[in-house]
Amino acid sequence: MSDVEVEFYWRPGCGFCAALERPLSKSGFTVKRVNIWEDPDAAARVRSVADGNEVVPTVFVGSTAMVNPSFAEIEAAVKAASA
């Protein structure tokens, strides 16, 4: 659908992450999934955009960071980054 990569930061046991994973997996987007419990640098990146907290899901599309976004917000960011 797009050559824009969606970076999806998540952790095990996160219900919001699981709910967002469903539409992402069907979207056709290129999705890089990053478990913040396995990657300290990823956890630090999430904290840098979430007021020092490890809030997931956090999604990056290009330079746009979104904390606990809806799938519609991700679609809009991908569309904007593809323009």
Where do the domains of the chain lie, and which CATH numbers do they carry? 5-82 (3.40.30.10)
pLDDT at 79: 95
- Are 36 and 43 within 8 A, CB to CB? yes
What is the per-residue pLDDT across 17-60, written as a single tens digit (0 to 9) for each? 999 999 999 999 999 999 999 999 999 999 999 999 999 999 99
- Are 26 and 51 within 8 A, CB to CB? no
pTM, rounded to two decimals: 0.93
Residue 18 C-beta-side C-alpha neighbours within 13 Å: 4
pLDDT at 1: 52
